[in-house]
Amino acid sequence: KLTLTELHCRLGHISPKITRCLVRNGVVRGVNLEEGPAEFCKACVKANPVGKGFPKEWSSERVAAIGDLIHSGLWGLSQVESMGGKQYYVSFTDDHS
């Protein structure tokens, strides 16, 4: 038997509500889920800090063409390695798109 929190962690920290739904609808098979609420998940709290949201309107002119302005972000060092053994994630977003 697994607790909801254990399965939540094994499925990559998806929401407990969705985790329970996946088991109930047979998407996740072979799991005997214990009844009860989800426990507090420290990893989720650290990964989802509260901050200001994005503005509803652009405060400056957008760039004219793809590639004119690229935003990047780096996340890591993850305590869990990816299947390829990596522990960092980098993202690139084109401001034009």
User: pTM for the full model?
Assistant: 0.49
**Whether 4 and 41 share a structural domain:** yes
pLDDT digits (tens, 9 = 90+) for 4-23: 999 999 999 989 999 999 99
Mean pLDDT of the chain: 86
Closest residue by Cα to residue 44 from 83, 73, 17 = 17
Rounded Cα distance between 86 and 88, Å, is 6
Average pLDDT over residues 31-43: 88
Give me the pLDDT at residue 72, please.
92
Q: Please count the other Cβ atoms lying within 10 Å of the Cβ belonging to residue 78.
A: 13
**Whether 40 and 76 share a structural domain:** no
Give me the pLDDT at residue 19, please.
92
Give me the pLDDT at residue 59, please.
65
Rounded Cα distance between 58 and 31, Å, is 47
**Whether 44 and 70 share a structural domain:** no
Q: Identify whether the C-beta of residue 94 lies closer than 8 Å to the C-beta of residue 66.
A: yes
Query: Which token pair is 91?
Result: 């993202």
Instruction: Provide the domain count of the chain.
Output: 2
Q: Is residue 53 part of a domain?
A: no
Q: Is residue 2 part of a domain?
A: yes
Range of the domain at 89: 66-97
* Helices within 2-97 (DSSP H only): 4-10, 16-24, 42-47
Q: Is residue 54 part of a domain?
A: no
**Whether 44 and 16 share a structural domain:** yes
